[in-house]
Structure 1
Amino acid sequence: MSRRIDAVRIIEAKRDGKELDDDEIDWIVDGYTRGRVPPEQMSALAMAVYFRGMTDRETARWTSAMVDSGTRLDLSGLTRAGRRVPTVDKHSTGGVGDSVTLVLTPLLATWELAVPQLSGRGLGHTGGTLDKLESIPGWRADLDADSRRRILEETGAVICAAGADLAPADRALYALRDVTGTVPSIPMVAASIMSKKIAEGTCALVLDVKFGSGAFRPERADAEELARVMVGIGTAAGVRTSALVTANHTPLGRAVGNALEVAECVEILAGGGPPDMVDLTCALAREALATVGIDGDPRERLADGRAMDSFRAMITAQGGDPYAALPVAAETQEVRAPGSGVVRWDALGVGRASWLAGAGRTRPGEAVDPAAGVVLHRVEGNPVRLGDVVATVHAGDPGRLPAACAELASALEIGGPGAARGPAGVVVGRLRGW
């Protein structure tokens, strides 16, 4: 006779610091996804995990159980121009000004590989990739499996929403963690990210794990631990996984907001753009290429137009017009330097200013203003004089400008020559599981 497993025993075990076995993990994840385990019991377990943590084995099994709650895509036979190609994906843990995916995905597709980038929407001060791309007229995020595969075979790149059949346990668990104060749990965060990436069927994955005020994990040590756990999960699941640990104490690039970030990405694809965005994009591109055994020069393909051609093909394949004008905000207001010295921006404050201008949402499903956001005219380390214009806030609703400008002003410090901490996107660590 099989032993009895129930939610209370599992909660008590984790509360007391014990390690859950595979059967217990499979049972509780499946039970909650199917509605047999009520939210109050899963909330108690999530809180116990928050305080007691999980071993690497538990976290890997929890991830596997979430993958098994839905469909796992098979992209092993994907072809381009009649030849089978490997698949590689990238995931960022989120940060202010981080629109790297919009450049990296088509850039990687200029090589003989495919990039199945399943992305999400923004909530709070960090923007969502799908929200950014939806500022392009006609572009659509919702694709069925056949359309995704066709676009991958035709262009090598797709950025779209994950289907409801991929890791449904993750959606249920994230909604619960969001209202119970348990979102920051490293095992839960790692399982949430990796379950979706494993389910999408990619054979290789590069992770951008950020730290700093604009990131999900402000402390570098926490980001390094999250990177270690995720690389371990991916490797155990047979996915060639790497992680770069990068800084987000100050915004990445100069634009924070949906259409504003798209415009900046187009500038990068044309061979220009902010150096910090270009540097991080190329670092991630080199790491992604290494996971599938390719040695290439990303900067060359940004400079010679191949990446731009790839971007336009990807946008067109998803119904968008890559040549159409992007939305422009009806209202703008400048923010000026309160003194002379060296600029220092707090990423979280800039992200909140963009959110207050209308670029973000406070709850899932809420509409965003595609033209709203912030453009920085002086970035971390730049010298300024009293009264210089350091940033512009963009908004469709003039009533949003005062709060957004006040938040942006509070995110700005003017200090002496040693005030700046260096640019965002600096790579401080790398982990490889292969």
Structure 2
Amino acid sequence: MSARTYSAVEIIAAKRDCRELTRDQIDWVVAAYTRDEVAEEQMAALAMAVLLNGMDAAETAHWTQAMIDSGEVLDFGDVGRPLVDKHSTGGVGDKITLPLAPLVAACGAAVPQLSGRGLGHTGGTLDKLEAIPGWRASLSTDEITAQLAEVGAVICATTPTLAPADRRLYALRDVTGTVESVPLIASSIMSKKLAEGTGGLVLDVKVGSGAFMKTAARAGELADAMTAIGAAHDLPTTALLTDMSRPLGRCVGNALEVEESVEVLRGGGPPDVVALTVALATEMLALAGITDADPAQVLASGAAHDVWERMIAAQGGDPSAPLPVARHVETVTAERSGIFSGADALAVGTAAWRLGAGRARKEDPVQAGAGVRLLVAPGDEVRAGTPLLELHTDTPDRIADARRLLAGAALLITGDPPPARELVLDVRRG
């Protein structure tokens, strides 16, 4: 950490004028902001300068380290297995973490998956798991370590002392129009993952209408920034660019996605969820140095389901308990005959959010049973009046808004079969 005291104004001006920030400047401004010695409006100005003028790879790596240094770095010690983690940039129906963590554990690695909650149209892993009666998100470091050793997988909330500077800056970016800065997105994600102390990291960078990054070019820029940070910090990192033009699987919503994840863990489930789970598991096992396990076979065998039940029970949940069900369910039908070409991911995600599955602000509650269940798959032939999807909610006055979002081209019916979906669009390695 820098021993010199700087002026926040001179650092803002440097980035305003497109100059590279030194390591000492970055260390000072992040630490001072964490100590409340840099005002919110000053950090907002700096974030805007970074959004407009960028940071190079060295600056981004230094910024990430300063975020890490603002809090503690977790040390799980020797849990008897190689540690490997995964992060998704968020999508619609993206329940992949739920089957993935127990699958990778069943193959011999340990997965310390510190996750978050949903905001807007993208779902949060913790919200999904909290639909399970009794399940507990908050664990101490000792509890995480013990569960990694005994079960091999943990999905829990981030500890409050992990990268606190990032928590403050993330909230500030959200209200100042600076969320889209690639260096700040990359350092936000990577500072938390590096502070977890994992031995390898696989990134699932979503691309398409339901993703934060709408184009492959922008997603590739983010993937390259994050893998470069991993390389700069000696963390083996692989990024997969994956399609998010349509929802993953057939369920969007907390309890609905848990139900679908359990189907996958029992050897069934939608083919796209299975395929992406296996693809990410393969990359995670490669980083962990495990070459004698076939994740597709392990998933089909049901061994990952056994780990799932142990993981849920270890955090107080009852894996056999019935999941919450919405009080109101309405069906949306096809307006004409043809071939169902797919549902737009953003429209479905936003509809699920409006039905109660998501939140507009961090403090908003969510409905465990709310969401959207797709009843047909792309390529299915439908007739006018064929049920296409179900809307689930506890508040039926929200259904009209969800129907409006899903009208027209959001549920595409054409005369020709849609092209085959390519789930993994590219792979970037650090």
Matched residues in 2 for 1:332 and 1:326: separation?
15
CA contact (8 A) 1:88 1:204 kept: yes
Matched residues in 1 for 2:39 and 2:380: separation?
54
Residues 153 and 15 of structure 1: CA distance in aligned 2, closer, same or farther (over 3 Å): same
Aligned-pair identity (%): 57
Match of 2:397 in 1: 399
User: In the TM superposition, what is the alpha-carbon distance from 1:399 to its structure 2 partner?
Assistant: 1.2
Residues 52 and 387 of structure 1: CA distance in aligned 2, closer, same or farther (over 3 Å): same
Match of 1:339 in 2: 336
Q: Which amino acid counterpart does residue 272 of structure 2 have in structure 1?
A: D
What is the 5 A alignment of 1:106-255?
106-255=102-251
What is the 5 A alignment of 1:60-139?
60-75=61-76, 77-79=77-79, 84-139=80-135
Residues 289 and 302 of structure 1: CA distance in aligned 2, closer, same or farther (over 3 Å): same
Instruction: After superposition, give the CA deviation of every residue in 1:342-378 in whole Å (9 maximum; x if it has no partner).
Output: 2231100000000111000110121100000000012
Q: Which amino acid counterpart does residue 110 of structure 1 have in structure 2?
A: A
User: In the TM superposition, what is the alpha-carbon distance from 1:121 to its structure 2 partner?
Assistant: 0.2
User: In the TM superposition, what is the alpha-carbon distance from 1:416 to its structure 2 partner?
Assistant: 2.7
TM-score normalized by structure 2?
0.97
- Which moves more between the two structures, 242-251 or 408-417? 408-417
User: In the TM superposition, what is the alpha-carbon distance from 1:112 to its structure 2 partner?
Assistant: 2.5
Match of 2:386 in 1: 388
- Which moves more between the two structures, 232-241 or 365-374? 232-241
CA contact (8 A) 1:380 1:421 kept: no
Residues 257 and 3 of structure 1: CA distance in aligned 2, closer, same or farther (over 3 Å): closer
User: In the TM superposition, what is the alpha-carbon distance from 1:234 to its structure 2 partner?
Assistant: 1.1
> For 1:222, what is the secondary structure of its paired residue?
helix
Match of 2:15 in 1: 14
1:370 to 368, 371, 378: 368
CA contact (8 A) 1:380 1:422 kept: no
- Which moves more between the two structures, 137-146 or 292-301? 292-301
Match of 1:359 in 2: 357
Matched residues in 1 for 2:380 and 2:296: separation?
25
Matched residues in 1 for 2:338 and 2:20: separation?
54
Matched residues in 1 for 2:144 and 2:259: separation?
25
What is the 5 A alignment of 1:282-431?
282-295=278-291, 296-343=293-340, 344-410=342-408, 411-417=410-416, 420-423=418-421, 426-431=423-428
Q: Which amino acid counterpart does residue 78 of structure 1 have in structure 2?
A: D
> For 1:357, what is the secondary structure of its paired residue?
helix
User: In the TM superposition, what is the alpha-carbon distance from 1:206 to its structure 2 partner?
Assistant: 0.4
> For 1:288, what is the secondary structure of its paired residue?
helix
CA contact (8 A) 1:280 1:426 kept: yes
Residues 34 and 55 of structure 1: CA distance in aligned 2, closer, same or farther (over 3 Å): same
Matched residues in 2 for 1:345 and 1:16: separation?
45
Matched residues in 1 for 2:233 and 2:339: separation?
47
CA contact (8 A) 1:250 1:380 kept: no
Instruction: After superposition, give the CA deviation of every residue in 1:365-415 in whole Å (9 maximum; x if it has no partner).
Output: 211000000000123333322111000000111111111122123421222
User: In the TM superposition, what is the alpha-carbon distance from 1:106 to its structure 2 partner?
Assistant: 0.5
Matched residues in 2 for 1:43 and 1:125: separation?
25
User: In the TM superposition, what is the alpha-carbon distance from 1:421 to its structure 2 partner?
Assistant: 4.9
User: In the TM superposition, what is the alpha-carbon distance from 1:428 to its structure 2 partner?
Assistant: 1.0
CA RMSD of aligned residues (A): 1.2
> For 2:385, what is the secondary structure of its paired residue?
coil
CA contact (8 A) 2:107 2:295 kept: no
Structure 1 gap segments, 5+ residues each: none
Which consecutive segments of 4 or more residues in structure 1 shift more than 6 A?
none
CA contact (8 A) 2:238 2:283 kept: yes
User: In the TM superposition, what is the alpha-carbon distance from 1:229 to its structure 2 partner?
Assistant: 0.7
TM-score normalized by structure 1?
0.96
